[in-house]
Homo-oligomer: A and B are copies of this chain.
Amino acid sequence: MKKKFKILVSNDDGISSKGLLALRNAMLELGDVFVYAPNEQQSAVGHAITVQTPLRVIPHFVNGELFGYAINGTPADCIKLAITSLLDTKPDLIVSGINHGANAAINVIYSGTVSAATEGTILEIPSIAFSLTSFDPEDFSYAAKVAKQIAETVLTNGLPPGVLLNVNIPAIPENQIKGIAITRQGRSKWNDYYERRVDPNKKEYYWLTGTMKRLDDEINSDLVAIQNNYVSITPIHYDLTDYNFLAELKNWNLNGK
């Protein structure tokens, strides 16, 4: 008899987001699904975890049925708390998303969606982050189909220790999708800009805005792939060591002084 898989679903847009619902429904076709997600929007929290305040776990009902649990923390908190304290057994897979907006190039390091999957990988569970390239998406049907395909393949093949998949899906009609590309994290930068405003009490405040600039053109970059109508899959890890420069740094002779 085929094993029934156990799948944990989280995100960073919060438990009420449309993308989470689409991902949860897609995973229901593969096994039992458990939802633990932030109680509110947690975009750009990076790999933050909550250590100085307590966490609460609140059952979340949809149409009178238990949908999952909302946690007053970050995406990484949701995964850590669910795995260590709330679930009886480890899930076979963790999926995060479907994020409203791409998580490609430099945005990967700011992404709460990716950090949920990273935390899953740290806790030794195969994990995947899914993002759709629209901040106000209407149609998750193709993204959900891709998520199911990739999740199924990971359930079959597994992932190496310390490696997760970061998947970005163009928000375009399915018949315009050119295929799935295996990519690296692209290079980009934000042209950051803070709007300086004055509040009703005449005090200044600053609010972040900006546009992202692409810094490479190679088709093997995640950002270039999605802009060319490919689904991108980037394998990422959390060993941040720059091994190239490590060798050179030894020549600095810092002990010789």
| A binding-site residues for B, Cβ under 8 Å | 41, 43-52, 54-57, 76-77, 80-81, 84-85, 106, 108-110, 115, 118, 122, 149-150, 153, 157, 159-160, 162-163, 165, 179-180, 182-185, 187, 189-190, 192-194, 196-197, 203-208, 233-246, 249-250, 252, 254-255, 257
Please, which residues of chain B bring their CB within 8 A of the CB of A257? 149
List 30 A–B pairs whose Cβ atoms lie within 8 Å, in order of A's numbering.
A44-B50, A46-B46, A46-B47, A46-B49, A48-B110, A50-B208, A51-B208, A54-B197, A54-B206, A55-B205, A55-B206, A56-B204, A57-B206, A81-B194, A81-B208, A106-B238, A109-B118, A109-B238, A149-B254, A149-B257, A157-B252, A159-B245, A162-B242, A182-B249, A182-B250, A184-B239, A234-B241, A235-B241, A235-B249, A236-B241
Quick one: given A206-B55, A207-B54, A239-B184, are A110 and B47 in contact (CB under 8 Å)? yes
| Docked CA distance A252–B80 (Å) | 29
Which of A162, A193, A252 has the largest number of chain B CB atoms within 10 A? A252
Complex Cα distance A106/B118, Å?
11
> How many Å lie between the Cα of A246 and that of B183 in the bound state?
7
Smallest Cβ distance from A18 to chain B, in angstroms? 19
Contact call A81/B150, Cβ cutoff below 8 A = no
